[in-house]
Amino acid sequence: MTTAALGDDPNVNPTFYLVEEDEHDHGHEATGGGTLLGFWIYLMSDALIFATLFATYGVLSTSYAGGPVPREIFSLPLVALNTAILLVSSITYGFAMIAMQERKLAAVKLWLIVTGLLGAAFVGIELYEFAELIHEGATPQRSAFLSGFFTLVGTHGLHVTFGILWIGVMLVQLGQRGLHVENQRRLMCLSMFWHFLDVVWIGVFTFVYLLGVLR
């Protein structure tokens, strides 16, 4: 069969068309699936960024340069409070996802707002902690340990900040268009993002704060 014959054959095009049509039939699932997997792979690459930051911090974590050591500057009650806030924000986002499954738009918005406020509280407390450290002279320039600390924890805080921004955008989207399929897909991506940040925070509070204070 020649190429020309293939192109001219009236039976060929409908076949292609049917394939497309077929894809479109579970289009919501298929595109959603592709996006979700793609977003997941982005998160995994983000995990590698955090891995390099953790490795850097791990290597530099005892290079105090005569400056303050973790035991002197870390306030564990504050970190425990922040950890609790982030953990609760994980479950409130989970409730938003369950409300989405039950197609309760108002509940989704409510839980998103709660999650966003908890996230804002987390970032606020972290900024307060940073301000205190800098006030005490424990600035990123003071020692390699502090450079690594501010880079690692700051990058996580920046991620949370963008997560809050995304929550705000989703609230606008939901307000304008409701729980259509695209918004559901976006909410699921945001869900992965938010829970992923909580996973990274487990590493931060364990390896930076708790092990730092133990050292």
Partner 1 sequence: MNDATHADASRADAAHSHGDTHGHGSRRGYLIGFLLSAVLTAVPFWAVMTGALQDTQATAILIIALAIVQILVHTVCFLHVNTRAEGGWTLMAYAFTAVMVLIVIAGSLWIMYHLNTNMMPMPAVEMGAPS
CB of 12 to partner 1, least distance (A): 26
CB 129 within 8 A of CB 24: no
Task: Pick between residue 12 and residue 181 the one whose CB is nearest to partner 1.
Answer: 181
The contact set with partner 1 (CB under 8 A) reads 25-26, 28-29, 32-33, 36-37, 40-41, 44, 47-48, 51-52, 54-56, 58-59, 76-77, 79-80, 83-84, 87, 90-91, 94-95, 97-98, 100-101, 103, 181, 184-185, 188, 191-192, 195-196, 198-199, 202-203, 205-207, 210-211, 213-214
Task: Pick between residue 46 and residue 120 the one whose CB is nearest to partner 1.
Answer: 46
Task: Pick between residue 66 and residue 77 the one whose CB is nearest to partner 1.
Answer: 77
What is Dmax (Cα atoms) for the chain?
A: 80
CB of 108 to partner 1, least distance (A): 12
CB of 139 to partner 1, least distance (A): 24
Structural Rg of the chain based on CA atoms: 23
CB of 188 to partner 1, least distance (A): 6
Task: Pick between residue 95 and residue 134 the one whose CB is nearest to partner 1.
Answer: 95
Task: Pick between residue 8 and residue 25 the one whose CB is nearest to partner 1.
Answer: 25
* Whole-angstrom distance, CA of residue 35 vs CA of residue 31: 6
CB of 8 to partner 1, least distance (A): 31
In single-letter form, the type of residue at position 204 comes to V
* Whole-angstrom distance, CA of residue 100 vs CA of residue 88: 18
With the C-alpha atoms ordered 56, 203, 162, 142, is the resulting torsion angle positive or negative?
negative
* Whole-angstrom distance, CA of residue 57 vs CA of residue 52: 8
CB of 88 to partner 1, least distance (A): 8
CB 209 within 8 A of CB 133: no
One-character DSSP codes across 178-191: -S-HHHHHHHHHHH
* Whole-angstrom distance, CA of residue 215 vs CA of residue 209: 10
Q: What angle do CA 178, 181, 183 make, to 5 degrees?
A: 55
Task: Pick between residue 159 and residue 185 the one whose CB is nearest to partner 1.
Answer: 185
